[in-house]
Amino acid sequence: MKTDLFTTAREAMTHAYAPYSKFPVGAALLTDDGRVFSGANIEVASYPEGWCAETTALGHYVMAGGGRIMEICVVAEKMDRITPCGGCRQRLAEFADADTKLHMCDQNGIVETVTMGDILPFGFKGDTLK
Ligand code: THU
C-alpha cells in the first residue's frame, strides 16, 4: 500500500501547474477504508494565490466525505524528502491524527516515515473554538 501511495503521489505530481516556481509537487492521502486522494500544486500569476499539492489533495478528500487519514505521501521532482510547508502542516493536522504517518520520498519511493506529531508538535487545535 505504501508503494501504491507513493506511485499515486508521483503521478499526481505530473499534473502540477507550476509555471512560476517550476517546482512540481505531488501528494496523496490514504484513509482507513483504503481510499486514496491526491493532488498537485497549482500556481497563479499573483503568486500568493497559488496553493500546495497537499491542499489540493485535502480538497478532494473533504469533497468525498473525509474519513480517518492513515498515511500521507509527498513527493517533489526537484527535492528529496520534501515535507509539507507550515501552512499545509496545519491544514493536514485539521483532519489527521498525531500518529498519522508522513512518508518522505525521493524519486524512487519512500525513504523515511515520520508522524504528523513529529512535524507539527504543539500544533494549534480548534477544539476550544467549538
Ligand atoms: N509546495 C507544495 O506543493 N507543497 C509543499 O509542502 C511545499 C511547497 C509548492 C508550492 C509552490 O507551488 C512550489 O511548491 C514552490 O514553493
Q: d(Cα 76, Cα 57) in Å, to the nearest integer?
A: 15
Look up residue 8 and give its amino acid.
T
Contact present, 70 and 101 (Cβ < 8 Å): yes
Task: List, in sequence order, the alpha helices (H) in the chain.
Answer: 2-13, 53-63, 86-95, 116-119
Residue 76 lies in a domain: yes
pLDDT digits (tens, 9 = 90+) for 65-85: 999 999 999 999 999 999 999
Host domain of residue 110: 2-122
Residue 130 lies in a domain: no
Q: What is the CATH number of the domain that holds 44?
A: 3.40.140.10
pLDDT band at 93 (very low <50, low <70, confident <90, very high): very high
Residue 129 lies in a domain: no
Which residue, judged by its Cα, is nearest atom 13 of ligand 1? 23
List all residues whose CB is within 6 A of at least one atom of ligand 1. Answer: 18, 21, 23, 25, 41, 43, 50, 52-54, 84-85, 88
Residue 128 lies in a domain: no
**Confidence (pLDDT) at 3:** 55
Model confidence, pTM: 0.96
Q: How many distinct structural domains can be found in the chain?
A: 1
